[in-house]
Each structure stands twice: as structure tokens, then as C-alpha cells.
Amino acid sequence: MAGRLQDKTAIVVGAGQTPGSTIGNGRAMAVLFAREGAEVMCVDAQLDRAQETVALIEKEGGHAFAVEADVSTTAGCEAIVATGKMHMGRIDILVNNVGIGAGDAPPHVIAEDVYDRIMAVNLKSAVMTTREALKVMREQRSGVILSISSLAALLGHDKITYEVSKAGMVRHIQAVAAGNAKYGIRANVILPGFMDTPMAMVGISAAKGITEEELRAQRDSHVPLGKMGTGWDTAYAALFLCSDEAKFISGVALPVDGGMNVTRG
């Protein structure tokens, strides 16, 4: 372990992942944080998926434990922070990393129940979990909050709820950063572009009715650097922003997208 997060405690919400041949953002962050010396609380809606991440961490000699939670409810968000504080004693890092888009549609046809579900999982969960974490971090007078948004916050098309929820995460983090700096708390957000993760490959290829290989080729062709990123690209950006190397960085929305944000029109 290089020790960039030595003796830190971290909650990674969405640390499990859809089964697949690659690694998701949440699992990659949890594994990398543990490699760098953090104790990691791995949260997921499906306990077995969080436990798989914990097993990977423990196999490498790291420290982690799994927690099941429904982040679409305020009670679930409150329980995440309470459990983290109880088991780890303090909360140095909170990563909000959940997102769904099933059933999303253009503005003129979006269904109310779909809108409510996506907003609850994507945005409300980050707002409520952050609210609870801030109580702990303000008392500590230190902490880092990181939300994983999406390049869709800047470069949307017609999946209105997903895009609005991810844009909302950016503004939320800006408000958190501005209002909590005096407590020694930093807050930033990452905007991943096209990423070769199980959720993207399995879910989007199925929705489009094409193979994962065909989808991969399509998405690679849109990335200026030539290929999609991976969960590790998100994880290394997260590691930097959550480490003391970024102690003077707060309120930033960082695209991790192979250059798409400045070239895609």
C-alpha cells in the first residue's frame, strides 16, 4: 500500500456492481481506497455484491465491511452514515456513487413514476447521505465528500431525468463546498464520460439490442483519446480528490472523459 489514504475511513455508496467482465466505478474506488490504506465501508442495494467487493479487498490484505442499504429512502441514507460512524468511529470520506436511468424518456413523454424513482436514487440519495455525513464531519472539523455524476450533466440529449439528476449533483456539491469550507470539509464531483463498466456494457447493449462488442466499438469511436475509460480511471481521479494531495481543491466538477467535454458538439 502506498498509503495515500492511510488510517482514513471511507464510505463508498454503490460499491457493488452489475456482474460483468470489467470493473465498475464503485468497486474500483473501494478497492483502490483500501490499497491506499483506508478502511472502507462498502454499501450496495444488494448485499452479496458489496460482499464480493469486500472479499476482493480482504484478499489483498485491506480492511472493509459490507452494508446493505436502500438509498432511495431517507431512512436508508441515515442508516448508512450511522452505521459508518458506529463501526469506524469517524467518517473521513463519503463517496456518493449510485445512478439509474431505466425507463427514462424525453421531456414530452416522461412518466411521473419513472421521474420520481430516478431522482430519488440519483439525486435525493446524494443529498440525504451528504446531509447526514456533514453532521459528523462538521463535528470532526474535517472530511471529504465526493459525488460521481456524469458527463450527461453537461452534454445531455433527451433522457431528461437522468441528465437533470446528474446536473443537480454538480450544483449540490458546489453548495456543500461553499457552505462547509470553514469546517475543514472539501466537496468535489467527478463527471465520467463513456466508461467500459458492467452497468454500461450490459444494460445499454441490451437496451439497444446489440452486442457488447458492437456497443464498445460505437462508444470508443466517440472518445477523442480513442477508447472509453474504465472504472479505474474514475477511481484514480477519486483517490486524488479524496487524498491530502488535493487539500486545496474544493467545489470542482472534474470530467473524466477522454476529452469528450471539449470536443463533442
Residue 96, beta-bridge partner list: 13, 147
Residue corresponding to grid cell 447493449: 205
Cell numbers at 174, concatenated: 458546489
Distance CA 122, CA 137 (A): 22
Is position 115 annotated as part of the catalytic site? Answer: no
Q: Strands of the chain (E only): list them.
A: 9-13, 39-44, 63-68, 93-96, 143-148, 185-192, 253-256
Residue 18 burial by Cβ neighbours in a 10 Å radius (0-12, 13-18, 19+): middle
Q: Starting at the earlier edge strand, list the strands of the sheet with 185-192.
A: 63-68, 39-44, 9-13, 93-96, 143-148, 185-192, 253-256
**Set 115, 162, 183, 236: catalytic member:** 162
**Three-class SS state of 264:** coil
Give me the residue label for grid cell 477508447. Answer: 227
CA dihedral 191, 170, 88, 121 (to 10 degrees): -90
Which residues are known to be catalytic? 162
